Chain A
């Protein structure tokens, strides 16, 4: 299965700032996904990022708050904009294909002061 690297692994940020999370895959993949995992809650899909097209956002998530880039088949970024304490969470990148299970990176642990 693909090896997925996320950077940074953790960060502490000030309210009102933005942070960009990077996701690098060791092989070309069509579909990349961004999730949020809050304590005691299930993984929530933020958006699907396909190369060559705009990201598809789930209900409750908007591009202005979570802009995503997908410049090629091995890389994607998620930006958390104008952060507030409610954005404190673990953000996970995953890759998948139509008949394959998703595989995940180790996540970015984000705390907002």
Chain B
């Protein structure tokens, strides 16, 4: 069964203090790893898809990286508006059709001015 573990559960940073969120996964053949951002009262907002080990994606202050066992979401010089819960999810390869996506429980990030 596919599993996703995110750490830490919560992270409090000062504005400008860079850090990384971790997503460890177990999947029988990775089709894709997804990062989402979720604000209170909102649905998850798609950020990145990573497909293979060594791949990196960047968007503003966020950079996502992927190895064979884990993914990191690096946040450089965060701002208060980066405060949110960040969700990681994996999708396994399927011989046909659509394979369901498995989500982690998220890291709640708070950036203090």
Contacts and interface: CB of A to CB of B under 8 A. Distances in A.
Interface of A: 1, 4, 31, 40-43, 45, 48, 58, 92, 94, 96, 98, 101-107, 109
6 contacts: A41-B105, A42-B106, A92-B43, A101-B34, A104-B36, A107-B42
Interface of B: 4, 32, 34, 36, 41-46, 49, 87, 89, 97-98, 100-106
Nearest to B48: A101
A104 B43 contact: yes
Q: Is the interface of A mostly helix, strand, loop or mixed?
A: strand
A59 to B, nearest CB: 10
A42 B34 CA distance: 14
Contacts of B102: 42
